Structures are given as C-alpha cells and as structure tokens.
Structure 1
Amino acid sequence: MPLYKRKLYTLMKPPKDLKLDEQLFQVRFTKEIFREYQEYLNCMKLYQRRVWTCKVSGKSNLTYKEAIVSEHKANEKVQQFPKEFMGPVLHMVQFSPLRIDELVDSLYKDFKERFVVGEVVTGTHGEGSSTSTCMCQILKVLKEEGKKYETPRYNVAWLDDNNRKIGISKESADDLKRKRHPFSRALLKAFVRESTSSGPSRNSPWSVDEMVNEAHTQKKRKHPEGTSARKKADGKRQHVHKGELLTLRITDLWGKVIIYRLRRTRYPIEDSHVNLSSEDPQLNDRPVPSTDFLLPMACVGDLLMVWDFCSLFSKALLLSPFTLEELEKSLDYKEGEAPLLLEINFALLCIALTDPILRDEFFHRRKHHSKISMANWKDDLCDFLELPSQHKFTGVTHVPTIQQGLYRQLDACVKLKILMELVGCCVSSSAIRTQIDNNIEEHQLAMANKREAEVEELKRKNEERENLKRQQCPGNTNFLAVENGDHQEEKVLENGREHRNQEGEHPFLEKENHHSVSVRSRHVLLKEKLAAKLALEGVKERQRTEEQKKLQEKRKEQAEALTQCKIQQQMLAERLKKQEHLEREMEKHYIRTTPLGKDCFHNCFWFFFREGRLFVESNDCKQWGYYTAKEELDALFKSLNLKGIREKSLQKELETLYEKISTALQKRSKELAQQYAVEEALVRRSECVRSAPRLTGFLAYVNRLRMP
C-alpha cells in the first residue's frame, strides 16, 4: 500500500445498505465505491497528485497509480530474499529507532560476520592431517551462561554430497565461511520497507506488520524499555514524553546487548512538557493583565457574550453600535434609567417575539392585545418573563420589582442575567437566522474576492520577475557598445594629435626636417594649423553635443522612472486599500467570534474587532483580564515559547493580527484621552455658567436605527 505523508493510506470502506438500482461511482484501480460524485472527484484528485511514496522502494513524488506499479515491481525483487534470513532480520528490525539507511548498514554488517539457523555454509571438519572442507547447516546459535566468546559458536550438521546429515558438532564462527553474501544492501532495504512500517517522526521506531511477524518469526518480541512506556520501581508503567532522553536496550539474536540513546526532540510538543535549557533564547516576563471591571468577575463572561451578540447582529436588532464600556456602565448605573439598557431590552424582546409559538403564547395571556412599544417596555418584559415556557428564567423572581418601576435598583448581575435569557430566546429566531445566512453568503463572497485579488497579485509579481530577468539578460549590450565607441573616438583623436606632432610640432623633428620646413611656404603651414584647430574644435563640439544628448536622455529616463515609481506607489496604495476593504467586509459578516489561541496554562485569548482590548480568560473560565497598551502586546508576544504547540499557534495568530490589534489598542487609548478631556471641559463650563452638565458617554446613547 503506498504511503501518504509517511503513513499507510487506508482505503474507503464501501457504503452501507447498497441498493441494486442505486447509481454509484467506483475508482477503477482501488475498487472504492462512492455515492456522491463530488466525493469521487475529490478522491480522484488526491490520487492524481504527486504526494505518494512507494513503500518498498522509497520513491517519492508519485501519483497513486505510479506508486502501485512501483511497489509491484519492487515486490518481485523482494521475493528473491533468502527465507532463512527473513525471521532474524525482522527480529532485529522490530522497535529499532535507527533511520532506514543506518538500519540497513547495521544489519548488513551484522549478518556479514555472523550466521543464522538454517543457513548452509562451508566449514572445516576434523583435526590435524584429517581435516577436510565440506558443507554444513547451522542448527542453533549457542548462548552459554557464564562464558563470553570473542566469536559466536554454533551447532552445525555436516552434510554429504547428497545433502544428508553425517554428523553434528559445535563450531566457532572462525571455522565457517560463506561463498558469497546471501543478499545485497538494495534487496535488504526493499525487504525492510515492504515488511515494516514507521511513524511520521524520523525517530519513530520500526514496527513489523502483524501478518509478516506471525509468518516469519517464532515468538513476538517484547517492547523495548524506553520507547513509549517505562516501568517504575513499583511496577507501574510510566509514559515517556517528547523531549525526554531515552535509553533503549535491545538484545540481538546472538545475545549481544545493543544500547540506543536518543531524544525525541521534534518541536513543537505539548506545552507542559517543554523544559527550557541554557541554549534557548531568553523569554520576556508575561505581562499581568488588568482586572479592574465595574461588574463582579463572575459576570464578565456573560457581559462579553451579550455585547458581542448585540454587536454581531445589530442590523437585525436595529441597535446602533455601542462600546463594551458603555454597556458595563449602564448595567452598574442605579441613579436613573440608562437609555442603552432600555433600547437593548426592547430590541431583544421584539426579536424574541418573532417566534410564532412565543408570540401566540404571549398575546394569548395578555389581558390587552396592544402591540409592544418602547413606552411600555417594562410591562411587556414582565409579561414575557411570566410566560409558562419562561418560568425557568431567574428574571421571574424579579418581576414585582420591575412592575413597581424599580428596574434601575436591580443588581447589575440580575440585569445581565435577564439580558442573557433574552439573548437565548433570540438565537433561534427567524430574524437572526436570516442575518446569519446573509452573513455567510457575504463572507463567502468576500473570501472569493480576496482569493481573486491574491491570484492577481501573484500574477503581477511573476510578470515583474520575468521582466526583470529579460532586462538583466546578457544579450543587452547597447550600453557597452556606446561606451566602447566613445573610447575608440578618444583613441582616434589621440592618434591624430600624435601624428600632427610627428609632422611639425615636435621640437626634435623640427630640427631634423628644418630644410623641408624652409621649403614649404608659411601660408600653407598656417592653413594646416587652422584646419587642425577647426577639426579639434569640431571634435569638442561633437563631444559637448553628445554629452548634452546623454544628459537629456538621462533626465528623461529619471523622469520616466519617477513617473513609473509614482504609478507603482499609486497601484500599491489601491491594492492595499482594496485588501483593507475586503478584510473589513469579512469582519462585518462574521457570525461568531473565536479565540486567538491558548498559552501553556490553557488561558484563552480573545480579541473583538469592535473593542480595543485583548482579553484573557483563565482555564477554568472564572477569571478575566485584558491588555490595553501596545507595550503589553509586545511583551506578551515575546514571552511565548515556540517549543509548545499552543503557544506557537497563539504567537502565529498574534503575528497575523498584530497590526490590527496594536492599532485598536492605540486608537482606544486616544479616544479615552479625548473623552476625558471633553467631559472635564464640560464640567468646568457648567460650573462657570451655573447650569446642569450635558449628558455624555453611556447616558447620551441614542439608538438611530430603531424604527419610530
């Protein structure tokens, strides 16, 4: 069976209750049967991917069908492996932690120097002048207690020419020889792969297949000490964890004790098993989260749940957004009626009564059949809590207090409990279910748009890479040609100067050719000098013209590069803006909030996109805290140990959302500072003019989405 991700792949079992006239889909080379066509296609796509490995030969990057063919060919070679060596080899392989190459080398060396039961070898028989060489068969490997031999000893049966036994004796390995080694390294490796399996880890011990073990070995080999379990002094089994140093003691066929020392050190591992060493980088101290909530600690979890529900489904509830701090202060406020609580109660009650059963029960028990309204929300709430189906609610015991108009005097935990019970009734309502379905569709659409944008970005990067390669290809030699042309022109100009100096400007040559100069007329000499001067000025003028042209071309190239850079920056800004828009759209259509991850103590970390705090929930769900500063986020990030499974996953998630979380923390800090400054200014102004201060914060909440 081919390997998939270093593991044996199990074929799908046929579906149950098959009918004769049922339409089915079958994979031809595995005989697997599927009812659904999509499942059949997914299975075929997996088989066609090059992720399969031949179990016998070890060849990888194969399709499933290619791996099957490779295994069939390799199994034909494995049939040539000597049968008398199968049991001893499997005995040595069982529970060995060595890698395949090291294991094959060790086995090949051991069986090259020693012999196994049933093997026919050549031995020296007799003593003195009567010694002779003949064939013999190994009957038993001798293991005598109290005696240690440098070489193993064997019971052998001597054979005549017709392979009949003619005698038995004890012989040393030095007196026995083979004509040739019974198998090659490649054949041994193929036999080991075909008959055994190993775990996904490189240090996983080898395990012989049960059917092969029963067929070729006489007794089952016990699990060696230290591989997965260990016995204490009291006889109980002690589990071994990853990262712990193990000592394996294995006894081979000839009584030799083999000791393996290994550490299973593939990280990440279970966080509670991680032990810091001196080689590990120093981790920062874990920052202590703040716990200054207005409500009791036991109510913080319910507070977050109610606020998150109202924020996620604000469109269906017709509630304007509000902060967690505003909800907390509204619940704790007892001096009057907090408008935010009135709006939340009324909105939840309206959505809960969209359920047909609850609505019929509600209006059937009411003495008057008027519709629920914001003006009579307290009476409507009391009537709802007194319904027989709601008698299990804790809010029923507080109905008299609400009817007396003392809702504000209720404890904050009681108000929150009533909101929790209303939220529970709203979850299954048709309005919430409709928004959930719409959110799922919008979220899937945003995900599809994001994937398309990522594909376009990948294509653009590949095109830029190809253009850069074409620009850097060795055939582009225009610049070198121009540069070489300039050097040649300068060289020609220098040669012309030297030629003119040789003709009449060099003082030594003037003395030698004094007679010829006197013959030539002065007019001709002046004319030649003037021509040479004009030619030199012409060369200089051409050089200046070429330099100006090069300078203009360079400026033009710089301008084009600057324009191209601006275009690229504009395109990058547009892509970033589009990506941010898609991410905001995905955030808008979340249907539930999931935690970022857990640390080594199983503390759970939560981040809400509409709240600028990073919350921490204890492992028993009884304690809550939060971080509000970017410095605390950085300290938390640097205190996580990557050797642990949970903390590594948490750090990866924090790294992905680092910009969003840090921006939200900083934004909340600025908003709080501005809010405090405005409130202080309003208080000072009211004291100066002796007027009542204006309502601010949670008392100034106005629901702009509520229908009139």
Structure 2
Amino acid sequence: MPLLKKKSHKLLELPKDLEPQELVYQVRLTKEIFRDYQLYLKRINLYRKRVWTCKSTGKTSLTYEEALESEKLANKKVQTLARELVAPALRIIQFSTLSLKDLADTIATELQNCFFAGAELYGKRDGELHPCKILKIVTDGDGNPQYEVGFLDKDKEINENGMLFGEDLSWKKFPYSRNFLKSFIRDSTCHSIPWVVNEYLAKAHGITRKIPKELQDKYVFQNGQLLQQTKQEDKTGRDKGKRKRAENGRHAAEETDKEVNESEEEPIMYPIEDLLLPLDLDDANITQRPSPSRDFSVSMNCVGDLLMVWDFCSSFGRQLNLWRFSLEDFENAVCHKESNLVLIMEVHACLFRFLITEGGDHFKSLKRRSRKSKITLITWTEFLCDFLESVDTPDLCSDVGTIKRGHYGLLDPNVKLKILKEIVNHITETSTFKGEIDELVEQRHALGAARREEALTEARLKREEKERSKTGEEADGGLDNIRSERKKNSPQVLESSEDSKKKESTAGKNKMENGFVSSEKKERSEKSDRLVGNVYLRKHKRQMMDTKIEPKEEVEEG
C-alpha cells in the first residue's frame, strides 16, 4: 500500500445501507465508493497529487497510481529471493533497531554463508577456484553440513562432482544487491525501527512475535500493531518537574552571570593559541574526541592503501588523463566480484599509459611487439600480468594465474589494493612524475608570492587612505578654530570702528555747532585706531605660523 506522509494510507469503508439502484461515485484505483460528488473529487485530486511514496522502493513524489505500479514491480523482484534464505533474513529483521541501510548490510553479510541447493558459486579444486553448482546438502556424523557440488564448464554443464565444506565455497557475486534487500525489508514489515515482520510471514516461517526484554518497557502489541507505551504523570509530578526546571534555570542564569563577570575582569589578549581560548556554553562537548569512522567495505588494514591510491588518482588526474571519481565508487569497484569493471580498467589503463610513455627500463615488458599497444577492456589484464611478472614481489606474483584465467574480480580487495599501490609507487619514482611535481611546486610558490604581493599593496593603499583622511580632519579642525577665533575678535574690531565713526560724527557735530575742531584730538584718534589694527594683524600671523595653514581670507587693514 503506498505511503502518504510516511504513513500507511487506509482506504475508506463502504457506505452503509446502499441501495441497488442508488447512484454513487467509485474510484477506479481503490474501488472506494462515495455518495457525495465533492468528496469524490477531493479524493481523486489527492490520488493525482505527487505526494505518495512507494513502500517497497522508497521512491517519493509519485502519484497513487505510479506508487502502486512501483510496488507491483518491486514485489515481483522480491519474490525471486530463494526460499532457503527467506527465513534467516526474517529472523534478522524481526525487532531489529538498525537503520534500513545497516540492516540490509547485516543481512547481506549473514547470508554470504548461507548456501542452498541450486546455488551457482565458486568452489576450490586443486587449490584454485572453479565455478560449480550445489546439487545436494548432506550432514556428516558430527552434524556439520557438506555440499555435493558439480563443477561447471564454459557451457555451464556439469563435468565433475565433488564434496566440499562451506569454507571451500564462495560467491562470485552475491545474487542480491543492497537495494533488493531494502525492498525486501520494506515489503515484509509493518513497522520500522524496531522492524516488525508481517503477521502472515511470521506464522508461515515460524518467526516469533514476542517482544524482547529490552523493548518490553517501550512497546506493546495492540490489535496486531506495535504501539509505543506512554507514561502518564499526575499533576503533582508535573508541578514538581516545573519547579525543578525553574530552579535549574535560576542556577544556570547565576552561573552565566558569574562567568560573564569573570570574563569582563580578565580580558583576553590577542593573538592567542587556540587551546588557551576559554570554552563557551555551546562548546561543552568540544573536548570529547570523535571516534574514527569505520564505515568501510574493505578491512581496516586496507583503508590506508585505499585512501592513498584514491588520493593519488584524484590529485594527479590531469597528468594521468583520468576523470575524477568518488571514494565510495572506488571502494565499491574494488570490492566487486566482477572482473571487467570500467572504473578498475580505466584506473589501470591510465597508470600503465603513464609508465609506457615514461619509457623506463623496468617497464619494457609492457611494450611487447606481439601485442597491440592499445589498452582495452579485454587486454588490460595482459598488461597487468606483464607488470606483476616484471616486479619481483612474491605476494603479488602468486595471483598472476588467477588474473590470466579472467578471474581478477575474485581476488581479495587487499590484494587488489596492494597491486595498485605497487603501480603508484613505481610511477612516483619516474623522472617524468618528479618533473611534474617540481613544476606544480614552482607554480604554487609563484601563486603564493603573487597573492602576498597583492595583499601588501592592498594594505599599503588602505594605510595611505587612512593617513589622508586624518590629515583632512586635522585641516578642517584648524580652519574651524581660526574661524571661531575670528568671530570672537571681530566684535572688538567692529566696536572700535563704530567708536571711531561715533567720534567722527560727534566731532563733526561739535564742529558744526562750535565752528572748529582741534586738530590734536583728531590725530590721536587716528593713531589709536591704527594701533588696534596692527595688534590684531600680529596676533593673527602668530596663529597662522602655529597651525602652518594659510588663511583663505586676507585681513584688510582698518
């Protein structure tokens, strides 16, 4: 059933008291019946919206009809799972609290050791792996299973039989992918985290529906559905909880105030080491070191080689003429059991082309005249075998026979990464690669010097702009001081000029009235006016010499 907002969608029940001749509206996809046309239209519009999710595949933004078709196709694929593997997979799923991805990986690893009659895989014969088919499963006296297998030829026909133990059998490629197992999990469960197997499947395969002890306090079955238990607290308990939270809030506020006061008393002097910086409230868990990631498909002792080879191909992809690829894709390709993967072939081909063009003495075997120089999806293993034979490494030469037979994919991921590491090490020792590295280092140094020079020039320009702005402010301030002093002194000059005018007017009046004016008094008044003007000019020139600013306005002598 398609999901709506990550929840199962329940269909409406049939209306009660339906009459045979009553006109109704029926939905084509769900067979739901409505008496009201408006409700029918609302339900039709809901089914046509792209808000539905396929339960089996997890695809979103689908219509209801598209989600139904997707579920039908996924159910057909899920039914291809071997019957012998259904019960073990359901036992792993029942009441598991893992995520969907982790649960699918767990099922895949557990089912790697589950062999059943009719399975086609690889078995050891004379110390080498050969394709075979399990014919029958028998148990010995100790109860250990043994497998009667038939070894297959190129036409997949049995040419020889044998008895093997489970340790001698291995899958060339596990027949069920992670996406297939995810669809199987979604299709066979009715509840997620903890995952609960459908009731009919549990009865058919003998899967217990008893809740484990660690989950009995949290979940309970009601009407065949797993529900989460909710603890109801009385009002007194709630009040106590509120009081405690209020008290904790007060204590937290007091502590923060103390910390703020302490920080204000002791200011931080920068620059300072990162480890000497005081921690904030949000950085309480910063001292806890995170645990290293272990989410790798390869074993942990191969992770170093995996990262080294991937980083080399990503960093020098331009020199190797190799497109970039993600670490996840490279890891999946290394762990894959197929021999002619495009990614693996491209990596080996680009590395071998670099060695061939370099033309060292150690790699003359890669230029055989009897073979075409072009590296293809078929011939790349020949170049690899020639390289391994030219390099005296016993651990790697022992796998040349397996590669020549076309079973490169059956090699252990550790061996594949060791081979790639050996090729990369030989490339780093070539003179061509060292020259490329020297050029890159020189370019990096030149780029760093150019950036430093740009930063210095930018800082110098900013410094000059600041100095210009400061001098401009000082000049404006000096002019303002001069103007203010002028305003202060101007009333005295005006008063002196007004006094002289008054004296002249009074003298004229007296002259008109008395008929004469003494010449001595007139000369004294003129001398006093000149002295006042000269004093003001001298004072103004002193101010000009102190501020070193020339006045814009000239002072006229009175």
Specify the TM-score bucket, using the shorter chain as the normaliser: 0.3 to 0.5
TM-score w.r.t. structure 2 length? 0.36
Larger radius of gyration: 2
Higher relative contact order (CA 8 A, sep 6+): 1
